Structure 1
């Protein structure tokens, strides 16, 4: 999965969420109800065998501290009605914590600040992180679902072509696979003697949709799940162009030196796959079944 943009497209929602996205509120999520998805997290039962494998310090605290960049609906965002984290990533992580006999405690932080803090500030992180060779050199990543990327444009833009990016002004979130993809595409443009892409990365994903809607960007590169969500909800404002690019797995992040936690998280995710919990969570957020995986791997 490519961690990309937030899809809160009304002016009020964008402004309010943008104000939250760089803060670091610690919010405890209990497995008593879902945050608006329709999936009831209280149905997730603790697995005593898995709980016994949780590192002692975490087990004694009863909490799993989780870093997330809550600016990316429907994966993770701040529900304006409750000021609580919501999204399918949040439901999956909260279900995982419940399976391990823990409660997830979330810290909202800028996306590109999260990975370096895992193992210090956070026990783990979930924020639609693509599993890449570069990341797995630095951290452990446990796969839990998959998706790809799409280009998104304004609904009235009929001229944008995904095979003609040179010279275009394009947006992506800082530190993401989309940014890397567009940087590589721009390098190819210049190598071919064409104009470079004018790439406008944003650390706050909310600004991407704001600038696209305002006409400051020709297109943004987004996750295909987010694209489906946006185009369905706001067909008069945004649309996708082209086919899904680079479908890959998303991973829960654990510190490289914390093998015990990484292994129990992988086992917990597999248990949630096997008992149908992750399928139910994805369905409750209208995520296509093709995003589900059958086997969780520790990378």
Structure 2
């Protein structure tokens, strides 16, 4: 999933990506609100299981990279965090009787800072062996990746043949790793080089695609579908979903109590339908809902 980017609230600064024809992107974005979480109540047993420092502070310090609508993005005021990931971690915090304190950071800088500057991270992080070696991950949803191109696919991009293409993905993402592995295959088979051009800034990634500097980008399928539907004259997806995976809420390796509490809170939100309601609010297909929240799957 994340973070290969597709184009996001911040992108409207460079391109009218999230606005329909003739609409004002700021006005459209100003109408967006998070899911109603008033029915979510605290679970005292889960609260009691929290590490003492977090329980006594009553605050969960959350970091995200808010450039990935509809998962996480900033409202028109540039201050309010919105998106289904934001609603999910807010609901988890409510279940734990905590308030949330949000910070933003570049995607690739987040994992090293969890456990020191921040308690948790939620930013559409795919679960992977590489990440599980560094942090705890509590699964909360599933998705995959899609390729996105300019409308009408002028570069004749073929998902079955990536060799010879110039492709973009967000720095540090699972999509970047996928493309770099494909590039090695192209080289080993003496085929034209696949040039992988990672970007830390989603805005620049999308700008380069729109300007023809990239043949395609590899993006999360939810964000890809959202962007293509909002900008049918600019972008389209090509091919089928690949690299289906689950996303995880991140905690530090030495914060096992917190990781277990978050996993149990997430499961409660799955069981009572809150998770499904959040995805429905953001027009995310219900196939993204998982049945079981798992801490560090495969370990």
Q: Same fold (TM over 0.5)?
A: yes
Cα distance, 1:168 vs structure 2? 0.7
- Structure 2 counterparts to residues 1-299 of structure 1, below 5 A: 1-8=1-8, 12-14=12-14, 36-37=32-33, 39-81=35-77, 83-157=79-153, 159-299=156-296
Whole-angstrom CA distance in 2 between matches of 1:104 and 1:289? 26
Cα distance, 1:38 vs structure 2? 5.3
Alignment match, 2:22: none
Tell me the TM-score normalised to structure 2 length.
0.90
User: Once superposed, what is the RMSD of the aligned Cα atoms?
Assistant: 1.9
Deviating beyond 6 angstroms after TM superposition, the runs of 4 or more aligned structure 1 residues are none
Evaluate the alpha carbon distance shift between residue 164 and residue 274 of structure 1 in structure 2; reply closer, same or farther with a 3 A threshold: same
Asked if structure 2 preserves the Cα contact closer than 8 Å seen for 1:37 and 1:285, the reply is no
SS at match of 1:254: strand
Whole-angstrom CA distance in 1 between matches of 2:10 and 2:68? 14
Asked if structure 2 preserves the Cα contact closer than 8 Å seen for 1:2 and 1:148, the reply is no
Cα distance, 1:53 vs structure 2? 1.1
Whole-angstrom CA distance in 2 between matches of 1:272 and 1:169? 41
Cα distance, 1:218 vs structure 2? 0.4
SS at match of 1:135: helix
> Which structure 2 residue ranges, 5 or more long, are not aligned?
17-30
Evaluate the alpha carbon distance shift between residue 64 and residue 226 of structure 1 in structure 2; reply closer, same or farther with a 3 A threshold: same
Q: How many residues are matched? A: 282
Whole-angstrom CA distance in 2 between matches of 1:178 and 1:278? 25
Q: Greater shift after overlay, 199-208 or 80-89?
A: 80-89
Tell me the TM-score normalised to structure 1 length.
0.90
